[in-house]
Amino acid sequence: MPLNLPIHDSVPRETTGTLYIVATPIGNRDDITLRAIKTLGLVDIIAAEDTRHTARFLAYHGIRGNLISCHEHNEQGRALPLIRRLKQGESIALVSSAGTPSISDPGYRLVVEALKNNIRVVPIPGPSAAITALCASGLATDSFIFEGFAAKKNAKRRRRLEQLTGESGTLIFYESPRRILTLVKELLEIAGDRYAVLGREMTKLHEEFIRGNLSDILKNLSMRPVVRGECTLLVEGNLEKKAPLSRDFEKELHDGLISGNDRLSILSKRIAAKYGLPRNRVYEVGLKIKSEIDD
């Protein structure tokens, strides 16, 4: 339900010339802080990633705001005019369609320009899909890497995934429902069959967490006619950095290379998936074993 707060009376007007980075809900419209509501009701301008979406959200909370668009395709051109208005003493709140602005969303360029111009930047904290999914995942939270959206170009994406699979911290990705199947397939191939959690429609009516190894999640998604909702994928870190590697996979590599039935690339892929190891790590060990055999 909307909160009928006396917004303008509840906060002293000491906010001119300030850029506020305001986090908004990732799904449930009630997941908004009192401070965020007060700020949105107080500022002169609200720079929004999607003005129609934000207008509906503001109306739900009884806020009237002066909206201007600031999204991925116009942020660079929009930044300087907004900076001019900030210099003239106006206050601006930056919001994305969901979550925290500039975290895999527009806002970074505007923040950089504001700081270059000695304009005060104030974060108004709140929801983030990455942290929401992480805290409910059961995966390690003491160390994690937030990757955001994986690269769209195949070669660039695969190179980056191979780099990430060596990290011991939990890996966190954002992905669209249209591309999530591809990401899970590639992670399974490159990183091995690690434990993972996929969160979708978080905080909404049909919130779902799919838990299991990457192969389990792949099977689950493959059986659906369509995947709906933005996805947050969390993957277990590289445990070989926390515990010694089993020597079993090395023996299997050695025996496979001696038999000559498979190329090293195919052998490495199969063994990596079996033992839940990064494929590039298995391949490197295989090269050393092959060199010893050839000698």
Same domain (yes/no): 201, 138:
yes
- Residue 27, domain member (yes or no): yes
CA separation for the pair 44, 42 (Å, rounded): 7
β-pairing, 208-213 vs 231-235, is unpaired
Give the pLDDT score at 11: 42
What residues in the chain have per-residue pLDDT under 50? Answer: 1, 3, 5-15, 243-244
For residue 9, being part of any structural domain is answered with no
Beta strand pairing status for 195-200 and 18-22?
unpaired
- Number of structural domains (the chain) is 3
pLDDT value for 38? 97
Residue at 91 is within a domain: yes
Instruction: Based on the fold, state whether residues 254 and 231 are members of the same structural domain.
Output: no
Q: Are residues 224 and 140 in the same domain?
A: yes
In-domain check, residue 106: yes
Q: Which CATH number covers residue 180?
A: 3.30.950.10
- Give me the pLDDT at residue 67, please: 98
What tens digit of pLDDT does each residue of 63-121 get? Answer: 999 999 999 999 989 999 999 999 999 999 999 999 999 998 889 999 999 999 999 99
Alpha-carbon distance 220 to 233, whole Å? 14
| 36 and 79 inside one domain | yes
Domain residues for the domain of 145 are 130-241
Q: Is residue 2 part of a domain?
A: no
What is the token pair recorded at 42? 């107080």
- The verdict on 87 and 189 lying in the same domain is no
